[in-house]
């Protein structure tokens, strides 16, 4: 079938018209009706005569629609010769079922938890339809699997709280706390980072943004206090200069320059550290110099640490020193003698 814009929508409207035998449909009537429906749905009217003629041909040739052209004088009317025909009654084709099955496999791999129970119901219905139509086939796409972190059982309730603007009374214990505490929290955003989930919002009477790790939440209840709207951050742009979820106090994004070895250059060129990455210089040995513009937070240091000695932070100096300390502390764990010599020489 054609993949042109709004094709499926137009076909559904034409099917509805041609089933309505209480009215005689000229080609112009069909064009006007489709345009009116497009305007109501999408705010546009751009369907012309040739488009509807092609759609009618597709109804006949691809979907087997029994379209009758009845001429009365100089006017031709369109209708279904079979009053019981509708594209809504057509069975799913083998090819369509194959597409559905592939889609279900993908959905199941990324849907380790559910946000809306209705989605799971739909997936199960599709799976049943597919399983009764075609035999099982081998998986042809696999996503990386992670251990599901604690706290994902709260996602449904938090999702609806954000959607309905409902404050939450949360019992929470951070890693450093010796006992849990309870507070009212106004939720604004759920965000995943490396298979851990975080809730962004504000505590009651706070004027600053706070994020909570869902795996540290012990209990969630709805609160009856009035909801405080989000006037603290714009989720669409807030993370543009940030890796992860940790925002250092009073920090701003700053230019970062990193020397990349020839061994890691192809990897980092094809899979950038961050969307702000730019290649400043290509070295004769195959290495390169890159620039980033980011907040220097815990997650950035963790990402850079993962490349070992294949990256060298040149600027800013405070990030360079932070990376140096991380490498020295690691060296001290595996080889205290070597670490002492390195410390003595710096």
At 145 the pLDDT is 61
152-179, pLDDT tens digit by residue? 888 888 988 998 999 999 999 988 889 9
pLDDT band at 296 (very low <50, low <70, confident <90, very high): very high
State the Cα–Cα distance between residues 192 and 134, nearest whole angstrom: 36
Nearest to 201 by CA among 179, 169, 174, 178: 169
Percent of the chain past pLDDT 90, that is, above it, reads 52
Write out pLDDT tens, residues 4-15: 567 888 988 999
Q: Which residue has the higher pLDDT, 312 or 237?
A: 312
Is the confidence at residue 109, as pLDDT, over 80? no
205: left (phi over 0), alpha (psi -120 to 50) or beta: left
Per the CB < 8 A criterion, the answer to whether 52 and 7 are in contact is no
pLDDT recorded at residue 285: 95
Query: How far lies 342's CA from each of 304, 316, 322, 346, in Å?
Result: 21, 22, 16, 6
Query: pLDDT band at residue 1, thresholds of 50, 70 and 90?
Result: very low
The domains located in the chain, with CATH, are 7-89 (1.10.10.10), 152-238 (2.30.30), 254-345 (3.30.70)
In sequence order, what are the residues at sequence separation of 6 or more whose Cβ sits closer than 8 angstroms to the Cβ of residue 107? Answer: 123
Is a pLDDT exceeding 70 seen at residue 228? yes
**DSSP state at residue 25:** B
**pLDDT single digits (tens) 26-48:** 999 999 999 999 888 877 777 88
What is the per-residue pLDDT for 5? Answer: 62
Is residue 43 left, alpha or beta, with left meaning phi > 0 and alpha meaning psi from -120 to 50?
left
Q: For position 98, what pLDDT does the model report?
A: 67
Verify cis geometry, omega within 30 degrees of 0, for the bond prior to 45: no
């Amino acid at each position: 079938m054609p993949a042109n814009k709004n094709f499926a929508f137009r076909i559904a409207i034409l099917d509805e018209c041609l089933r309505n035998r209480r009215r005689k449909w000229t080609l112009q009537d069909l064009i006007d009706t489709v345009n009116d429906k497009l305007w109501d749905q999408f705010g546009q009217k751009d369907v012309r005569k040739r488009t509807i003629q092609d759609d009618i041909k597709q109804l006949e040739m691809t979907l087997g629609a029994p379209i009758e052209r009845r001429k009365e004088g100089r006017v031709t009317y369109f209708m279904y010769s079979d009053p019981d025909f509708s594209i809504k009654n057509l069975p799913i084709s083998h090819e369509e079922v194959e597409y559905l099955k592939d889609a279900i496999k993908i959905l199941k791999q990324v849907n380790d938890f559910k946000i809306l129970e209705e989605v799971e119901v739909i997936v199960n219905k599709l799976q049943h339809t597919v399983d009764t139509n075609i035999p099982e086939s081998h998986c042809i796409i696999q996503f990386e699997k992670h251990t599901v972190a604690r706290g994902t059982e709260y996602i449904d309730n938090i999702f609806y709280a954000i959607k309905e603007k409902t404050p939450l009374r949360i019992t929470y214990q951070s890693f450093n706390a010796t006992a849990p505490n309870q507070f009212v929290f106004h939720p604004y955003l759920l965000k995943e980072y490396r298979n851990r989930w975080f809730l962004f919002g504000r505590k009651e009477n706070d004027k600053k943004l706070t994020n909570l790790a869902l795996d540290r939440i012990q209990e969630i209840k709805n609160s009856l206090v009035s909801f405080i709207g989000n006037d603290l951050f714009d989720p669409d742009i807030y993370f543009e200069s940030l890796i992860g979820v940790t925002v250092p106090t009073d920090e701003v994004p700053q230019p970062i320059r990193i020397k990349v070895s020839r061994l890691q250059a192809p990897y980092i060129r094809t899979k950038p550290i961050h969307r702000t990455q730019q290649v400043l210089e290509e070295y004769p040995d195959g290495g390169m110099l890159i620039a980033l513009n980011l907040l220097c937070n815990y997650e950035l240091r963790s990402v850079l640490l993962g490349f070992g000695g294949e990256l060298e932070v040149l600027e800013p100096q405070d990030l360079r020193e932070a990376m140096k300390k991380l490498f020295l502390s690691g060296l001290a764990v595996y080889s205290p003698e070597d670490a002492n010599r390195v410390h003595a020489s710096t």
